[in-house]
Amino acid sequence: DQQVKQNSPSLSVQEGRISILNCDYTNSMFDYFLWYKKYPAEGPTFLISISSIKDKNEDGRFTVFLNKSAKHLSLHIVPSQPGDSAVYFCAASVPSNTGKLIFGQGTTLQVKP
C-alpha cells in the first residue's frame, strides 16, 4: 500500500520553462512534506519542505504547493535549468518523535538546453 505516490516516472521540459512535479498521498495525518533531489551515484539531498498547516512554501526558483483537501502536493521549478536534471522524490513525515519519512517512487526530470 503506497501511501505516497508519484505517478509520473519521468518529465521532460525545455530550459527556461516551468517544471511541475506532482505527488499524491493517502494519509491525512502526515504533518510535513519534503522534496529531495538525487543525482546518479549520489545520495538524495534535501530541497524544500512544507508544513501541513501551510499551502505554499517558496525558496528561490523552487515552490511547493500543498492541497490538503485533494491530498496533493506539487513542486514548481521556475525557470528550469539543465542542472536541475535529476530524480525528484517527495516524502511525507509520520507524526511522531522518530523522524520517519515515507517516500514516493520518484520522478526523473530532464531539462533540455
For other proteins, the closer CB: 4 or 21: 4
The one among 13, 34, 66, 77 contacting other proteins by CB under 8 A: 34
Query: In this chain, which stretch among 14-22, 42-50, 62-70, 76-84 interacts with other proteins, using CB under 8 A?
Result: 42-50
Residues 44-103 that bind other proteins (CB under 8 A): 44-46, 49, 89, 91-94, 96-103
SS3 label, residue 14: strand
The one among 42, 60, 69, 70 contacting other proteins by CB under 8 A: 42
Is there a contact between 36 and 45 (Cβ–Cβ < 8 Å)? yes
SS3 label, residue 50: strand
Number of Cβ within a 10 Å radius of residue 89: 22
CB of 39 to other proteins, least distance (A): 10
Nearest-angstrom CA–CA distance, 82 and 47: 16
Nearest-angstrom CA–CA distance, 47 and 38: 10
Nearest-angstrom CA–CA distance, 7 and 40: 21
When asked if residue 108 is in the footprint of other proteins (CB under 8 A), the reply is no
Per CB under 8 A, residues contacting other proteins are 4, 6, 9, 31-32, 34, 36, 41-46, 49, 89, 91-94, 96-106
